[in-house]
Amino acid sequence: MQLYNSNQIKIYNTLSGEKEVFQAITEGYVGMYVCGPTVYSNVHLGNVRTFMSFDMIFRYLKHLGYKVRYVRNITDAGHLENDGDIGEDKITKKARLEAIEPMEIVQRYTVDFHNVLNTFNFLPPSIEPTATGHIIEQIELIQSIIDNGFAYTVNGSVYFDVHKYNESNEYGILSKRKLEDLIHNTRALDGQSDKKNPQDFALWKKAEPTHIMRWPSPWSDGFPGWHLECTAMSTKYLGEYFDIHGGGMDLKFPHHECEIAQNQAAKGQAPVKYWMHANMLELNGSRMSKSTGNYINPAELLSGKNDIMSKAYSPSVIRFFIMQASYRSVLDLTDDGLAAAEKGFHRLMDAIGLIDNLKTTASSSFNITDWKQKCYDAMNDDFNTPILIATLFETVRFINQVKDGSASVTDDDLKILKDTIETFVFDVLGLVNMSKENTGTEKLAGAVEILINLRKEARLNKDFALSDKIRDDLAEAGIQLNDSREGTTFTTN
């Protein structure tokens, strides 16, 4: 019997505003779609947190025995600067600034996105479709919306008629916004827009003569609206009604609201059973923003080359820090928080490393069966990773007590403990065993040792210029040499 039969998950559904018992549309199968990045710049830590949350959810669903089709898209066209219908396409703008092809921008930052996620030990999605690879599907979707009377064409562009849609449906059902309030809070059109109403949004935009990324359509040579791609690709690969749609809290309105409206207008039904949204990542108590300078990217955090944190932190420590908070809560990234997470992470790994050498006895002083169920109970409660981690640390104390002889464990219980803690730490939370991370450290130590010996030889030969260069180059790379009577050692910054 699969584990999902004995584990009832509750998911906070943004649509209802409540935790709901998860019931897969098709027993044993889960379709999950998560909005991926717009690949015009390096992925930032806020994005990483969102994708990490859904990586954890993907991992747990798989652990329970569900066959999960996880679709996460790449936006490589159609995303305008202000997330609306005016301005320049973000990818085209970056390409123009750097005087290269838009698809060079797409390739560069798609590679960066994958490299960053691989660094943090993400599982790849089942399917990773691109907007440009599904232009035909988007054109077909627009035509259906037009045929059903919920869109109109003006000067080669096609717009979704929000007011017409709201006559028979509820625009704002996800974000709990009322169209009347949106109308009241929207400035009047300036006379230069083709839209009937400010709330209408583009399904297809006619390309200006200088716009590089363009495709032929029944209405004009142009490009699809940003909201359209997710509706087209999610329903193509997961069906017209699927289990879970996820993304960052910032996408709830207008992006996900527009997705619901498009699907309802084209297919006559809501597309998703459970809407899930991961919350924001702050930096030192303030919103993370490039414009204000309150910003740090993954590479800077991993290397320690920044003016915000006191040192570099490993990918698993960062992942452990992020998992210490619920995916639905705002998380403040601080140096103190990361330092505390690092200590906790090492305590956890040290305890796991002790398990194989623990002595067993005829009885256990700790109820392993109840503890194991508490781990599942935490994850079944809307993927409550902070409670899971607190539960895992109950056995950290127990493991150390068994080692010291102040507690006891049977052979059978020890096997259950080992299997359970490794499952939740490595398979579900996605942390990496310290021994694996140490492999890179050992290789670094070996390489630095070679350079130390070369420097020693240079000094013996009175080649002080080469000796100083080795020392200075290593220091620039964050490796500090320490000379003493016993020899030379090194530390990393």
Confidence band of 483 (pLDDT split at 50, 70, 90): confident
pLDDT confidence of residue 150: 98
Q: Mean of the pLDDT values across residues 124-128?
A: 98
Q: Mean of the pLDDT values across residues 272-291?
A: 90
Per-chain mean pLDDT for the chain: 91
Q: Mean of the pLDDT values across residues 65-84?
A: 86
Q: What does residue 230 show for φ and ψ, rounded to 5 degrees?
A: -70, -35
Q: Tell which wins on pLDDT, 56 or 82.
A: 56
pLDDT confidence of residue 445: 67
pLDDT confidence of residue 78: 75
Q: What is the percent of the chain with per-residue pLDDT over 90, rounded to a whole number?
A: 74
Q: Tell which wins on pLDDT, 78 or 369.
A: 369
Confidence band of 184 (pLDDT split at 50, 70, 90): low
Least confident range of 56-65, 149-158, 353-362, 449-458? 449-458
List of long-range contacts for 179-185, beta carbons under 8 Å, 24+ apart? none
Q: Taking the CB of residue 132, how many other CB atoms lie within 10 A of it?
A: 21
Q: Over 80: is that where the pLDDT of 439 sits? A: no
Q: Taking the CB of residue 369, how many other CB atoms lie within 10 A of it?
A: 11
Confidence band of 31 (pLDDT split at 50, 70, 90): very high
Q: Over 90: is that where the pLDDT of 56 sits? A: yes
Distance CA 139, CA 323 (A): 40
Distance CA 286, CA 341 (A): 20
Q: For 101-112, how does the pLDDT look when each residue is reduced to its tens digit (9 = 90+)?
A: 999 999 999 999
Cis ω before 386 (30° cut-off from 0)? no
Tokens 């066209």 belong to 77
Q: For 297-314, how does the pLDDT look when each residue is reduced to its tens digit (9 = 90+)?
A: 899 999 998 889 999 999
pLDDT confidence of residue 199: 93
Q: Over 80: is that where the pLDDT of 485 sits? A: no
Q: What does residue 294 show for φ and ψ, rounded to 5 degrees?
A: -85, 80
Q: Tell which wins on pLDDT, 86 or 361.
A: 361
Q: Mean of the pLDDT values across residues 405-409?
A: 97
Q: What is the percent of the chain with per-residue pLDDT over 70, rounded to a whole number?
A: 92
Distance CA 285, CA 283 (A): 5
pLDDT confidence of residue 443: 62
* C-alpha distances out from residue 114 to 33, 36, 43, 296, Å: 18, 11, 9, 18
Burial zone of 373 (CB within 10 Å; 0-12 exposed, 13-18 middle, 19+ buried): middle
CA end-to-end span of the chain, whole Å?
Answer: 50
pLDDT confidence of residue 295: 80
The reply to whether 35 sits in an annotated binding site is yes
pLDDT confidence of residue 211: 85
Distance CA 431, CA 120 (A): 8
pTM of full prediction above 0.85: yes
Residue 380 CA, chain-centre distance (Å), reads 20
Q: Over 90: is that where the pLDDT of 457 sits? A: no
pLDDT confidence of residue 50: 96
Q: Which two tokens stand for residue 57?
A: 């959810």
Distance CA 13, CA 17 (A): 6
Distance CA 294, CA 289 (A): 5
Q: Taking the CB of residue 41, how many other CB atoms lie within 10 A of it?
A: 16
Q: For 203-249, how does the pLDDT look when each residue is reduced to its tens digit (9 = 90+)?
A: 999 998 888 899 999 999 999 998 999 999 999 999 999 999 999 99
Q: For 335-373, how does the pLDDT look when each residue is reduced to its tens digit (9 = 90+)?
A: 999 999 999 999 999 999 999 999 999 999 999 999 999
pLDDT confidence of residue 290: 65
The reply to whether 255 sits in an annotated binding site is yes
Q: Which two tokens stand for residue 346?
A: 């090492």
